[in-house]
Amino acid sequence: MRPCTIALLAGLGLSIAQLSAAAAAHPKKTPPPVVQPKEEPQVPSLSPMIKRVAPAVVYVTVSGTVPAPVPVNPLFEEPGTRPFRGAGSGVIVDAVNGYIITNAHVVEGATDIIVTLADDRQVPAQVKARDERSDIALLQVKSANLVQIPLGDSSRLEVGDYVVAIGNPFGLQHTVTSGIVSALGRSGINPDNFEDFIQTDASINMGNSGGALVNLRGELVGINTAIVSRTGDNTGIGFAIPVNMVRTVYEQLLRFGAVKRGLLGVNIYTMTPDDADNLGVSGVHGAVVSQVIEGSTAESAGIKTGDVITSVNTQPVKSAAELRNAIGLLRAGDQVEISLLREGKPRKLTATITEASETQAADNAPIHRGLAGTELVDGEGGVLVKSVEETSLAAQAGLRPNDVIVAVNRAHVSKVKELRDQTKDARALWLDVRRGARALLIVVR
């Protein structure tokens, strides 16, 4: 050791021996082992599926003109038009040809349509065809590098299945919400429409119309179309058109430019449990034939009043709405196998569907917007209410199954046809109703 080092240690009052002894008494501590972090479990996420599907959902903006309100004083003011702007969503179903499905009401009256893609490209679109009664429209854009969505099978959906809504609520592009299938087979939401809605609690707001409802595999199972709300905002009750109905309408719009609806030629209502008991077929669901139109396909096929139709082409029919949808979405000339019960015994018949004329379509349309979702038949001394959808305007006003409507807007009615004539163009319905021994006045606005 060099002298300077010895002098320094001595100056501190410690000898080499003392330092060695101190080191022995206080050995150097070993640092604690490093704790390796445990591998985090994989957290479930919808992100991978959304990344695949979202580019197929587009933002649709529309503009055009509509008739202006009636002038306060027509002597000094002339009615004209006023511009409007609107927005909704759409789903690319054919990337090669640029075909997009949206709601018919989104593009109603539009003269200019702009589609904004997921990568913010904006391209003009044209309406190829639209069908108001299913609320489906087919648009086309000319653009490269589009992404289309795979179509699922809505018949496999069950209440409780998880679903995701993708759209553009309030102009907030590519908003994703999730929920479950709350119910299936809903109808009576919109007048004059063919309806078999999927109900969901996935948040749907204004601007979601025409957007995608997808399952967890990223398949399109519905087109979002409507909500139940007093304010226009989400209340947890949204509706989507099942993709199987969308597919049928899309194919007809593509091929014919319109939907050529089939006609069977029957008046029907949904069989109630009491009806089933009276017919000796407890537990059976179907549509009861209350009238067979003379000279119709139904008459030629051998369908009779009182028959209970239970399936069409092996697909179960549980209500009048389901039968109406099944027949209405078939093409004229199609042969259809109908299973029914007659006096409790099963039968199978074959019918060739005819095309409904405009007059026949009008005759089979819902009577009035205020009575959409009700099933009405000729009764004793009035029009019998066979059933009422819980979400319909009529149900909210207080109309109930087994009520008998004896007058509307102070005019007596005894048949459905008379009720149809009296309610035409009426803005409100004042219904005189007989409920058992009670007389009620129900106002539907």
Catalytic residues: 105, 135, 209
- From its phi and psi, is residue 373 left (phi > 0), alpha (psi between -120 and 50) or beta? left
The full 3-state SS of the chain, as one line of letters, equals: CCHHHHHHHHHCCCCHHHHHHHHHHCCCCCCCCCCCCCCCCCCCCCHHHHHHHHHHEEEEEEEEEEECCCCCCCCCCCCCEEEEEEEEEEEEEECCCCEEEECCCCCCCEEEEEEECCCCCEEEEEEEEEECCCCEEEEEECCCCCCCCCECCHHHCCCCCEEEEEECHHHCCCEEEEEEEEEEEECCCCCCCCCCEEEECCCCCCCCCCCEEECCCCCEEEEEEEECCCCCCCCCCEEEEEHHHHHHHHHHHHHHCCCCCEECCEEEEECCHHHHHHHCCCCCCCEEEEEECCCCHHHHHCCCCCCEEEEECCEECCCHHHHHHHHHCCCCCCEEEEEEEECCEEEEEEEECEECCHHHHHHCCCCCHHHCCEEEEECCCCEEEEEECCCCHHHHHCCCCCCEEEEECCEECCCHHHHHHHHCCCCCEEEEEEECCEEEEEEEC
What is the spatial distance between Cα 264 and Cα 336, in angstroms, rounded to a whole number? Answer: 10
Count other C-beta atoms under 10 Å from residue 111's C-beta: 10
What is the spatial distance between Cα 258 and Cα 267, in angstroms, rounded to a whole number? Answer: 25
Count other C-beta atoms under 10 Å from residue 57's C-beta: 29
